[in-house]
Amino acid sequence: MLAPKPDPNAAAVARDPDALAARLREVHPEAAAHPGEIRVVFAPGRVNLIGEHTDYNEGFVLPVAIDRGIGIALLPTEDGVARLTLAETGETREFAAAAPGARQNAWIDYVAGMGWALAEAGLPARGFRGVLASDLPQGAGLSSSAALEVVSAWALSGGERPGIDSMGLVHLVKRSENGFIGLNNGIMDQFASIFGEPSSALLLDCRSLEHRPIRLVGEDLALVACPSGSPRRLAPSADNERRARWEAAVAAIAALEPGVRALRDVTPAMLEAVRDRLEPVAVRRAQHVVEEDQRVLDAIAAFESGDLATVGELFYESHASLRDLYDVSSPELDTLVEIAQATPGVIGARLTGAGFGGCPLNLVPRDAVPDLRDAVLRDYPARTGLTPRVFEVAASAGARRLA
Ligand code: GLA
């Protein structure tokens, strides 16, 4: 293998199959020897329109797969070795595709975890030589981890759709996160990356797993992401704290209402009835989830009737709830949402994804995008000393083969 050069512009090739295949031929001589066998696979990141921290409470989410993600050009091999190079840094790591062994505590773990999960499910995990490029900013809350896991499942399947139905693959990604990486995330991110559809958001009932596309109204509506430039500070202890709190709320309510299994089943009145038996912080955490589920349903009705003003109000309410009740916003995210709210024309803005840093998503008529961009680029550095990025994202298809 040649020592690959780092490439700070690697993002530009993430969705360009010819350019990505050319990188592969440069870096891995086996691929240069078999150019006709090279495949290129891609999995998108996501934004979530509304329904935050509801997925692991068996509630509703409304994500959109976006037109940015992670591409891998690969040559399938028969040697069982998965060897992957990052186009951006030139770093190469490898593992035994069907028996990855211990974690390396590096990005490759998300790839290796899929080998582990495929093998555990009795599915083939093949070797390959690959080059990876991403145009998803990392730590921005746009789900680069899920995109990496999903595209890896395709790479380890010889560059083909993995031999399991799409919802099965969603659960395989979760299995890898739980059993190999050691994370206890919900299913929204990989669901969006796998099921994405152009021009649509995806309503998912995280209990029944029923889902349907929700057409995004009109060509003139833009989704604008503004990564805050401050890294996500997601402490596992913070996740555990929230889990303990909503479990306590569910247990207290279930003692009175036997039908209750998850916050999905809880109404505001039920929560009110146990308010005095819970710590105030447990009530706040549960209240966010209960009300956020309702906001998803209200947002769908509003989207479907073209009532964007109501969608915008729900966006701001969701953000305030994540800030004040679930405590997962940050001063930077709040500042970006305030700037959006003060910009004429913007319909709504809210943090998207887990929070603790990351990215607000803005819903904006296309002709107001320049005003929002100007306001963010002018006011955000002045208020925080940080450099934001502002870009449109478009609803796109899920994981697929590009070549
Ligand atoms: C992260 C998790 C998702 C979901 C969101 C919050 O992105 O991976 O499963 O819980 O946070 O809505």
Ligand 1 pocket, mutate which of 60, 149, 189 (most atoms under 8 A from CB):
189
Instruction: Tell me phi and psi for residue 320, to 5 degrees.
Output: -60, -35
CA of 155 to the centre of ligand 1 (A): 24
Angle (nearest 5°) at CA 199 between 196 and 203: 55
Q: Which H, E and C letters describe 25-73, residue by residue?
A: HHHCHHHHHCHHHCEEEEEEEEEECCCCCCHHHCCEECEEEEEEEEEEE
Q: Which atom of ligand 1 is nearest to the CA of 188?
A: 9
Q: Tell which residue, 91, 127, 14, 98, has the closest CA to residue 396.
A: 14
Name which residue sits closest to atom 8 of ligand 1, judged by CA. Answer: 185
Q: Which residues are catalytic?
A: 189
CA of 219 to the centre of ligand 1 (A): 28
Euclidean distance between the first and the last CA atom of the chain, given in angstroms as a whole number? 23
Look at strands 391-393 and 221-225 and give their pairing. Answer: antiparallel
Question: Both tokens of residue 96?
Answer: 């035994």
Enumerate residues lining ligand 1, CB below 6 A.
52-53, 55-56, 185-186, 188-189, 353-354
Ligand 1 pocket, mutate which of 48, 55, 174 (most atoms under 8 A from CB):
55
CA of 161 to the centre of ligand 1 (A): 24
Whether 168 and 176 have beta carbons less than 8 Å apart is answered as no
Whether 184 and 239 have beta carbons less than 8 Å apart is answered as yes
3-class secondary structure, 83 = strand
pLDDT at position 219: 73
Query: Residue 252: pLDDT above 80?
Result: yes
Name which residue sits closest to atom 2 of ligand 1, judged by CA. Answer: 185
Amino acid at 225: A
Name which residue sits closest to atom 11 of ligand 1, judged by CA. Answer: 354
Question: Both tokens of residue 268?
Answer: 């505001």
pLDDT tens for residues 371-402?
999 999 999 999 999 999 999 999 999 999 99
DSSP assigned state of 105: S
DSSP assigned state of 216: P
Banded model confidence at residue 334, pLDDT cuts 50, 70, 90: very high
CA of 374 to the centre of ligand 1 (A): 30
CA of 173 to the centre of ligand 1 (A): 13
DSSP assigned state of 5: P
Query: Residue 234: pLDDT above 70?
Result: no
CA of 53 to the centre of ligand 1 (A): 6
Look at strands 63-77 and 127-134 and give their pairing. Answer: antiparallel
pLDDT at position 138: 81
pLDDT tens for residues 170-224?
999 999 999 999 988 899 999 999 999 999 999 999 999 999 999 986 679 999 9
Q: Which atom of ligand 1 is nearest to the CA of 186?
A: 9
Contacts of 68 (CB under 8 A, 6+ apart): 14, 15, 44, 45, 135, 136, 142, 393
Question: Both tokens of residue 141?
Answer: 């809350």
pLDDT tens for residues 272-302?
999 999 999 999 999 999 999 999 999 999 9
Q: How many Å apart are CA 226 and CA 311, to the nearest integer?
A: 19
**CB neighbourhood size of 112 (10 A):** 30
Banded model confidence at residue 111, pLDDT cuts 50, 70, 90: very high
Question: Both tokens of residue 85?
Answer: 């190079």
Q: How far is CA 323 from the centre of its chain?
A: 20
Name which residue sits closest to atom 1 of ligand 1, judged by CA. Answer: 354
Q: How many Å apart are CA 22 and CA 120, to the nearest integer?
A: 33
E strands in 206-303: 211-215, 221-225
Average pLDDT, the chain: 95
Quick one: average pLDDT of 45-57? Answer: 97
Task: For the chain, give the longest Cα–Cα distance.
Answer: 71
pLDDT at position 69: 98
H/E segment holding residue 304: helix 280-304
pLDDT at position 2: 55
Question: Both tokens of residue 79?
Answer: 């040697």
Q: Which atom of ligand 1 is nearest to the CA of 56?
A: 10
Whether 388 and 381 have beta carbons less than 8 Å apart is answered as yes
Query: Residue 349: pLDDT above 70?
Result: yes
3-class secondary structure, 95 = strand
Query: Residue 230: pLDDT above 90?
Result: no
